[in-house]
Amino acid sequence: MEKVILIKYGELSTKKDNINFFLKKLKENILFVLDDLSVDIDYDLGRMFIHTKDNFDMVADRLKKVFGIHEINIGYIIESIDLEIIKDEVLNLLKEKEFKTFKVESKRSNKKLNTTSLLLSKNLGAYILKNIKGLKVDVKNPEVLLNVEYRIHNTLVYFDKIKGLGGYPVGTLGKGLLMLSGGIDSPVAGYLAMKRGVKIEAIYFESPPHTSVEAKNKVISLTKKLAQYNCNINLHIINFTEIQEAIYKNIPHDYLITIMRRMMYRISAIIANKRNAKILINGESIGQVASQTLTSMSAINEVVSIPVIRPLACFDKLDIIKIAKGINTYETSILPFEDCCTIFVPKHPVINPLKEKCSEYENLIPYKDLIYKAIKTHEVLNVKVKEESEFKDLL
Ligand code: ATP
Ligand code: MG
């Protein structure tokens, strides 16, 4: 009998023809988060198995950040399908535990076993009651829930069920470019896109000296938090100062934000194309601010043809905050450093911008040249989950 970590796939198991592609990616992503440990991974269509001599709880903890995992169990493989052998092995495991009540749950993927899951549970339960004195079955609230899976070539036994994140393995649905500001919304939007299997790169617009190094560091630290789910992230940093100043000086102030965002979209679409990202992702939420009315979103969106995915479009702010707290980005997001949008924010931004006016105003500045320059000089950081200095105990 070997102690192992067992992984259940959940929604992944609905993939029929290309399930192997999904599982291969899941294995790759798991190996990435466990790369400093000694592990072996194998899998079949129902389960993935992680063999390790390292600390099981620590491994399980890291798996909680991998998308595509529905459930994690620390359990045992019994290399037999003989019911008598299984009973004895289960008894050995239970003898190491202290408890008074239990329940057996069985799953039977080996349909050759000429019985039902319910009968298997009853039989094993009776055997346990007979061999360990003082126990009782409690089907509602057992101290020990014993799960047994009767498979074709072997049997799995486990007690605890640890909930995984669900979703699809990052990278199975291609790549997207996340427009990442230092705010609360965009990290959550990135998280939700990754959950659907999209690998992300991020783009951040800064306006030094109007925005500070602290504001930039805040975005880097948010990127690092998201990188835990994504196996590192390329962060594209665009110097937006000249564009913003040109807009500020030449364009009626009620259109500042609309035009600024059209420029951000144009630049993001070009970077996405260069990086083979198929979508833009952002944290826009309908009605949140003047630039997120339906008319505004339409006037801003018209400058790009790449699909723009807004995972938070229909979320309330309070629900967004709940997720931000859950993924540990909230505390960083609320640090009080200025964003390039907030500095140039007009008193009365237009709520229903007209597309013709947008084009007319934009033509007052040499925006194509400015965009070209901003992209040409942009900086790319490969943000890693762990910097080498954080591994110093291993070096
Ligand atoms: P967040 O929406 O992330 O809380 P915010 O509320 O300051 O930040 P909004 O003005 O609501 O940002 O902008 C909507 C979306 O536009 C953001 O969620 C983000 O995706 C994108 N965005 C805004 N500012 C920037 C920036 N400086 N760099 C990159 N993307 C940005
Ligand atoms: Mg917002």
Walk along the chain (395 residues) and give the pLDDT tens digit of each residue: 999 999 999 877 777 788 999 999 999 999 999 999 999 999 988 899 999 998 899 999 999 999 999 999 999 999 999 999 999 999 999 998 999 999 999 999 877 878 899 999 999 999 999 999 999 999 999 999 999 999 999 999 999 899 999 999 999 999 999 999 999 999 999 999 999 999 999 999 999 999 999 999 999 999 999 999 988 999 999 999 999 999 999 999 999 999 999 999 999 999 999 999 999 999 999 988 878 899 999 999 999 999 999 999 999 999 999 999 999 999 999 998 777 666 677 888 899 999 999 999 999 999 999 999 999 999 999 999 876 555 455 44
pLDDT at position 340 is 67
pLDDT at position 118 is 93
**Which of 178, 179, 271, 315 to probe ligand 1 with, by most ligand atoms within 8 A of CB?**
179
pLDDT at position 113 is 79
Calpha distance 172→169 (Å, rounded): 6
pLDDT at position 334 is 94
pLDDT at position 387 is 62
For the chain, domains (ranges, CATH) are 2-166 (3.30.2130.30), 175-383 (3.40.50.620)
Is the dihedral angle over the CA atoms 34, 36, 39, 40 positive or is it negative? positive
**CB-based contact 71:8 (threshold 8 Å):** yes
Token code pair at residue 380: 């790319």
Cβ–ligand 1 contact at 183 (below 6 Å): yes
Extended beta strands in the chain, E state:
2-8, 39-43, 48-52, 69-78, 101-108, 136-137, 144-150, 155-158, 162-166, 175-179, 199-206, 233-239, 279-281, 308-309, 379-383
* Alpha carbon of residue 392 to chain centroid: 27
Closest CA to ligand 1's atom 13? 284
Residue 282 Cα to ligand 2 middle (Å): 9
Cβ–ligand 1 contact at 332 (below 6 Å): no
**CB-based contact 186:318 (threshold 8 Å):** no
The SS3 of residue 208 is: coil
Residue 282 Cα to ligand 1 middle (Å): 7
Residue 168 Cα to ligand 1 middle (Å): 26
